[in-house]
Amino acid sequence: MKSLAAIVTLAFALAGAASAAEPRQFVYSPEPPGAIVQSRVVYLAGQAMSSQWRGVVSKKLVGTSAGMSFYQWYVSIYQIDGDTYRLRYQSPVNGGPFDKVEKANDATMWFPAQSGSIVGAAQLMEPAVEQLVVATHQTGADCGSADLTVFGYDAKTDKVVPEVTVENGCDLSAKIVHGKNGAPDALLLTGPYYNEHAAMCCPTKANASATLIYSDGKWTETPDYFKFYPNAFPH
C-alpha cells in the first residue's frame, strides 16, 4: 500500500500536469468578438490532460447615441487543440442566452441593453466533469430579464448544449456551492420572486433564495421560485 506522503505527492503531480497541459502562449480561432470581459478554463468533457475548454464573455461596440455606448455581448466556448482554442459555440450566433442587438430604422438607440459574466465552473451533474455557469441580463423595457445558463458538452452529438437555463424578471444571481464527500455541486440562486399575479414593480418577495441541483437525471429547485428550462433556452 502506498504511503500517505506518496499519495499526496502523486495527487499534486497529477494536478500540476493537468494545469500545465494548457500552453503558455495560446490563441483563439477565431478571436472572440470585441473586447474580452472574462475568460475561464472549464473541463466540459472531464478533467484529463489536454482536455481544457475556455468560456469567454466579450462585448463589441455597435453604436453610440446621446453620449451612450451600446454593445453586442457574446458568450463563446472554445475547445483546446494544441496551442489553439477552436470555437465550438457562440451566442447569439448559435442561439441563447444573448439576443442580437439591433435598432429600428427611425431609432437612435440599440436594444436590448446587455451584460454578462461567468459565474464559474461546477461539477453539477457528475464527478470530474464540469459545466460552465454564465449569468446574463437583457433590458428592452422596464427592468428586463436575467438568465442563468449552465452549459455542458453532449458527447453523443459532440456539441455544447444548455443543460438548464433559469430565467427571472429584473435580476438573478448565482453562487456555486461545492459538494462535500463526493456530493455534486449545487447552485444557490438569489433574486426577486414574482408570483403569477405580481407586476415587475412589485415582487412577491424582494430577496428570495432557492437551490438548484441535478439528481437522478433531473433538475430540481427548492423552493420553486424561479422558472427553469432543462436542456433549453427560454427564448
Q: What is the pLDDT of residue 195?
A: 93
Q: Are 147 and 96 in contact (CB under 8 A)?
A: yes
By the 10 Å C-beta count (0-12 exposed, 13-18 middle, 19+ buried), 127 is classed as exposed
Q: What is the pLDDT of residue 51?
A: 82
Structural domain spans, the chain: 24-230
Strand runs (DSSP E) across 43-99, as ranges?
A: 53-65, 68-81, 84-91
Q: What gap in Å lies between CA 88 and CA 48, rounded to an integer?
A: 19
Ordered per-residue pLDDT tens for the chain, 235 residues: 444 444 333 343 344 434 446 888 899 999 999 999 999 999 999 987 568 999 999 999 999 999 999 999 999 999 999 999 999 999 999 999 999 999 987 888 999 999 999 999 999 999 999 999 999 999 987 899 999 999 999 999 999 999 999 999 999 999 999 999 989 999 999 999 999 999 988 999 999 999 999 999 999 999 999 999 999 998 6
Q: What is the pLDDT of residue 73?
A: 98
Q: Are 169 and 92 in contact (CB under 8 A)?
A: no
* Residue linked to cell 433574486: 191
By the 10 Å C-beta count (0-12 exposed, 13-18 middle, 19+ buried), 114 is classed as buried
Tell me which amino acid residue 164 is.
V
Q: What is the pLDDT of residue 22?
A: 80
Q: Which three cell numbers stand for residue 171?
A: 435580476
Q: Are 72 and 100 in contact (CB under 8 A)?
A: yes
CA neighbor of 130 nearest in space, from 185, 78, 57: 185
Q: What gap in Å lies between CA 89 and CA 228, rounded to an integer?
A: 21
CA neighbor of 171 nearest in space, from 143, 209, 199: 143
